[in-house]
Amino acid sequence: MNENDLIKELREGNRAAFEELFDRFSTLVYNVAYRMLQNKQDAEDITQEVFFQAYKSLKHFRAESQLSTWLYRIAVNRSLNHQRKRKLQRWLSLDFEAREDSAVNSGYPGTTEDGLDDAMGKKDTERIVQEAINSLPDQQRSAILLHRYEELSYEEIAKIMGVTVASVESRLHRAKQTLAKKLLPLMKEL
Amino acid sequence: MIHTHIQEKLLLYLDGNLPDEEMQQIREHLSACAVCAEQHDALASVWRSERRLEKVKPSPVLWTRLQALIQEYEQTPVFVWDVKNIFQGISLRPIPALAVIVAIVVGIYLGSPRESQKYKPAQSVSQLASAADELELDQFDIIPPGTLGSTLVNISNRQK
């Protein structure tokens, strides 16, 4: 089913079309959420929220963008909101030493404890890069994740984040400069 | 300084995100500077290899959970759903911190003296006299002369 037909069916409330939507895009949404939150359970919760919101809003979907763009936008916003809520809850519960699950311990591919020295070395570099990305401000982090891991164009990222292409370029530029400064000293540890 | 300026642009260089002139300048610098060239290679191996991570599928039960949620939504009146969502967002975890804050505020309130308990010195002789009357000083205590107490009694007697 092409996207226009899928949208038409979704607007009519066709359940099979909704299942098709889920099959096509659940992996995409899950991976974006996981990249942003670094926690499998949170990523699944966000994925569920994204598709639930999509279900409630489908009748009003205006098809001004692609379905993937629309779902990316919901996923990024929900992930950022979830992260802010989690920080606030941790602060309010006086739980200042709470640690988040890291990519190393959450079963993300390439981060398991198994494997040869090469895999262990790869795990360390992934962890370092991911930690460096996690330390970026929200908007820069979102832009880097969408550009690097989802391989989206500047135009697509601009539509997802609701900003201009120039703004996306600026965020990515600053993000890469910051990442270079953070990563270089850490490379010496490997 | 030149090295720092080059090094912070290495990721942009690796991704080809710089103007041609700047790309050329960095390329020339890397061919001449062993330190920056080494850092370029280290970053390149990390920055490029990390992208090869596969996409992960979510758990198979996610679809089942989503269907259950949609079914619950469809069977619940809209206003009930909205109210439920408001309270669902409230987590119990902030309660310990809020309890501490409330305890501090209550403690400050209880510890501060009430208006009626606050001591205020008498502002006039009549107030002193009524205080002496209230305390019935002339009836029970022998007050040494020349003391504040005897003065109070004298004032009170004159008032009468």
Is B127 part of the contact surface with chain A (CB cutoff 8 Å)? no
Q: Say yes or no for a CB contact (<8 Å) between B93 and A92.
A: yes
pLDDT for A177 equals 94
Pair (A122, A189) in one structural domain: yes
Q: Which two tokens stand for residue B127?
A: 């107030």
Question: What is the extent of the structural domain holding B14?
Answer: 2-52
Pair (A17, A95) in one structural domain: yes
Domain boundary residue, one of A79, A101, A123:
A101
Domain contains A106 = no
Is the complex ipTM more than 0.90?
no
How close does chain A come to B17, measured CA to CA in Å?
8
Domain boundary residue, one of A76, A101, A126:
A101
Domain contains B28 = yes
b/e map A35-47, b = 16+ CB within 10 Å? bbbbbbebbbbbb
Residue A36 pLDDT greater than 80, yes or no: yes
Pair (A92, A7) in one structural domain: yes
pLDDT for B87 equals 60
Pair (A37, A80) in one structural domain: yes
Q: Which two tokens stand for residue A109?
A: 């591919």
pLDDT for A109 equals 43
Mean pLDDT rounded to a whole number for chain B = 79
Which residue in this structure is represented by tokens 């504040």?
A: B148
Domain contains A107 = no
Residue A72 belongs to domain with CATH number: 1.10.1740.10
Residue A147 belongs to domain with CATH number: 1.10.10.10
Pair (A46, A126) in one structural domain: no
With CA atoms as reference, the chain B residue closest to A182 would be: B8
Domain boundary residue, one of B35, B52, B69:
B52
Rounded to an integer, the average pLDDT of B38-48 is: 87
Rounded to an integer, the average pLDDT of B126-141 is: 68
Residue B81 pLDDT greater than 80, yes or no: no
Question: How many domains is chain B partitioned into structurally?
Answer: 2
Alpha helices in B10-118 (DSSP H): 10-14, 20-32, 34-49, 61-75, 78-88, 95-111
Q: pLDDT, tens digit, for every residue of A7-24?
A: 888 888 889 999 999 999
Pair (A89, A142) in one structural domain: no
Question: What is the extent of the structural domain holding A5?
Answer: 1-101
Pair (A87, A128) in one structural domain: no
Give me the residue from B54, B58, B73 closest to A30, CB to CB: B58
Q: Say yes or no for a CB contact (<8 Å) between A148 and B51.
A: yes
Whether the Cβ atoms of residue A31 and residue A149 lie closer than 8 Å to each other: yes
Pair (A84, A161) in one structural domain: no
